[in-house]
C-alpha cells in the first residue's frame, strides 16, 4: 500500500514540524514576543532587498562547507561536534599564511590560504580522530573539549602574538589581526554586497563530496565502516584508519569554512567570526539527511534563519540566543522523526491503530481513539 506509506511519512514530517514550531513559539511567548510576527519577520525579512538575499548565501557558504564535513564524519561512524574549534583553527592558519606571504600573487596566495585553513582544521580534528582510533576516547567529548581549548587559543593569539600592531599603538587593544593582503581575498560575486566566490567553491565541493562518498572505493570504505563496524572489519576494511580519515576530512572542511569566511567576508581574524557556524552546521547536515543534495538547500534555509534571527533581534528584541533554541529543538525533532520515517514497523502499528478506530466507529461513535 504505497499511498499509505506516503501519507504516513508525510504525517511524521508534519508532526515534526509542528512540534518544533510549537516548542519555539512557547519560548517566544515566554519572553513576550509575538510568535507569529517573529516567524514572519524571520522568513520574509531577509527578502526585502537584494542585500538581505545575498546575505542568506553569505551565511550559507560556511554552513555548506561545515555540513559537508559533518556528513562525511557521521556517515563514517564518528560524530564530530568540534567544527566550531576546527573553524577557529582554520581561521588562524589561513590568516597566518596570508600575513606571512603578503607578496605572493593572487593565484598562488589564495589557494595557499584556503589550503592552510583546511590543514589547520584537519589537524585539530585529527587529534580527536586519533584519540578515538587508538585509545577509544569518546569523540563527542574530546571534540567538545577541543572546541573550548581552540576558543581560548584563538583569543590568546588575537590578544597576544597575532594582534594588529596598530591596535597596540592606539591603545584600543581590540583583539584582531592585521588586515589580509588583497591577494588573499576572495572576489565579490555581486558588487556592493558581501557575497563572494566562496559560494562557487562550496557548490563544487558539494559535488566533490558526493563523488567521494558514493563513487570511490575510499568513500565506500568509510560508509561501510560507519554503517556496521564489525561487518566492515570482517570484510577487510581498516576501520580505525577510515575513522581518522573521516575525522580529518571533516575538520578540513570546517577549517576551510573558516578560511573562506576570513578571506571572503571579514578579511582579518576577529573575535566571534564563527558565531556558531560549527553547531549550526551539525543541524544543517542532519536536516540535509547527510547528503550533499540535501545539505545545499538546508544550508540556504538555515542561512535564511540566521539572517532572519538577526533581524528579529533588531526589530522585535528577541535575543540572538533564540537561534540556539531553534537549533536544539530542530536536532531533537529530526533525530526523533528519523526513527519513524520509512519505518515499516511503526507504520504497521499506525495502520493497525487506524483499522481499529475504523472498526470501532460504527457501534460507539463517541469513543473513537479512547484507548490503544
Enter the DSSP assignment of 267: S
Interaction site with another protein (CB under 8 A): 27, 30-32, 79, 81, 131, 135-138, 140-142, 144-146, 148-149, 152-153, 155-156, 159-160, 279, 282, 286, 317-319, 321-332, 335-336, 338-340, 345
Rounded (10°) angle between helices 35-44 and 292-315: 120
CB of 108 to another protein, least distance (A): 33
Closest CB to another protein among residues 247, 326:
326
Closest CB to another protein among residues 111, 317:
317
The residues pairing with 270 across neighbouring beta strands, listed in sequence order, are 176
Residue 323 contacts residue 306 (beta carbons within 8 Å):
yes
Closest CB to another protein among residues 151, 189:
151
Closest CB to another protein among residues 31, 40:
31
Closest CB to another protein among residues 113, 158:
158
Residue 194 contacts residue 58 (beta carbons within 8 Å):
yes
Q: Which residue has the cell 595557499?
A: 112
CB of 204 to another protein, least distance (A): 28
Q: Distance (Å, rounded) from C-alpha 34 to C-alpha 165? A: 47
Closest CB to another protein among residues 282, 311:
282
CB of 205 to another protein, least distance (A): 23
Q: Which residue has the cell 571572503?
A: 264
Q: Which residue has the cell 560508509?
A: 223
Q: Distance (Å, rounded) from C-alpha 28 to C-alpha 24? A: 6
Q: Distance (Å, rounded) from C-alpha 242 to C-alpha 314? A: 46
CB of 212 to another protein, least distance (A): 23
CA atoms within 13 A on the CB side of 252: 14
| CA 296 distance to own-chain centroid | 11
| CA 352 distance to own-chain centroid | 39
Closest CB to another protein among residues 256, 318:
318
CB of 107 to another protein, least distance (A): 37
Phi, psi angle pair for 347, to nearest 5°: -60, -40
Closest CB to another protein among residues 91, 195:
91
SS3 category, 6: helix
The per-residue b/e assignment along 210-246, b for 16 or more CB within 10 angstroms, e otherwise, is bebbeeeeebebbbbbbeebeebeeeebebbebbbbb
CB of 56 to another protein, least distance (A): 21
CB of 175 to another protein, least distance (A): 11
Cβ neighbours of residue 185 under 8 Å, at least 6 residues apart? Answer: 110, 263, 264, 267
Closest CB to another protein among residues 332, 351:
332
CB of 78 to another protein, least distance (A): 10
CB of 323 to another protein, least distance (A): 7
Amino acid at each position: 500500500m504505497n499511498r499509505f506509506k506516503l501519507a504516513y511519512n508525510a504525517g511524521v514530517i508534519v508532526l515534526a514540524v509542528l512540534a518544533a514550531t510549537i516548542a519555539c513559539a512557547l519560548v517566544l511567548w515566554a519572553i513576550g514576543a509575538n510568535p507569529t510576527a517573529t516567524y514572519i519577520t524571520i522568513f520574509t525579512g531577509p527578502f526585502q532587498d537584494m542585500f538581505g538575499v545575498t546575505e542568506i548565501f553569505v551565511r550559507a557558504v560556511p554552513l555548506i562547507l561545515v555540513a559537508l564535513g559533518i556528513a562525511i564524519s557521521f556517515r563514517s561512524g564518528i560524530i564530530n561536534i568540534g567544527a566550531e574549534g576546527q573553524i577557529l583553527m582554520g581561521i588562524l592558519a589561513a590568516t597566518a599564511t596570508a600575513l606571512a606571504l603578503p607578496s605572493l600573487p593572487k593565484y598562488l596566495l589564495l589557494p595557499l590560504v584556503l589550503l592552510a585553513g583546511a590543514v589547520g582544521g584537519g589537524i585539530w580534528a585529527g587529534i580527536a580522530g586519533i584519540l578515538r582510533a587508538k585509545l577509544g576516547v569518546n569523540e563527542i567529548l574530546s571534540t567538545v573539549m577541543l572546541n573550548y581549548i581552540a576558543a581560548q587559543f584563538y583569543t590568546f593569539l588575537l590578544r597576544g602574538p597575532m594582534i594588529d600592531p596598530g591596535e597596540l599603538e592606539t591603545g584600543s587593544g581590540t583583539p584582531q589581526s592585521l588586515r589580509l593582503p588583497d591577494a588573499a581575498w576572495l572576489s565579490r560575486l555581486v558588487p556592493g554586497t558581501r557575497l563572494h566566490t566562496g559560494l562557487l567553491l562550496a557548490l563544487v565541493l558539494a559535488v566533490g563530496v558526493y563523488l567521494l562518498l558514493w563513487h570511490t572505493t575510499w568513500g565506500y570504505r568509510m560508509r561501510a565502516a560507519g554503517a556496521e563496524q564489525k561487518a566492515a572489519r570482517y570484510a577487510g576494511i581498516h576501520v580505525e584508519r577510515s575513522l581518522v580519515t573521516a575525522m580529518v576530512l571533516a575538520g578540513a572542511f570546517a577549517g576551510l569554512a573558516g578560511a573562506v569566511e576570513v578571506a571572503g567576508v571579514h578579511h582579518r581574524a576577529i573575535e566571534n567570526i564563527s558565531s556558531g557556524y560549527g553547531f549550526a552546521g551539525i543541524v544543517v547536515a542532519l536536516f540535509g539527511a547527510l547528503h550533499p543534495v540535501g545539505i545545499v538547500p538546508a544550508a540556504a534555509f538555515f542561512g535564511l534563519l540566521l539572517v532572519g534571527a538577526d533581524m528579529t533581534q533588531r526589530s522585535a528584541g528577541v535575543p540572538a540566543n533564540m537561534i540556539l533554541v531553534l537549533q536544539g529543538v530542530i536536532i531533537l525533532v529530526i533525530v526523533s522523526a528519523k526513527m519513524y520515517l520509512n519505518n515499516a514497523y511503526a507504520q504497521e502499528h499506525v495502520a493497525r491503530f487506524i483499522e481499529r478506530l475504523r472498526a470501532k466507529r460504527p457501534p460507539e461513535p463517541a469513543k473513537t481513539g479512547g484507548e490503544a
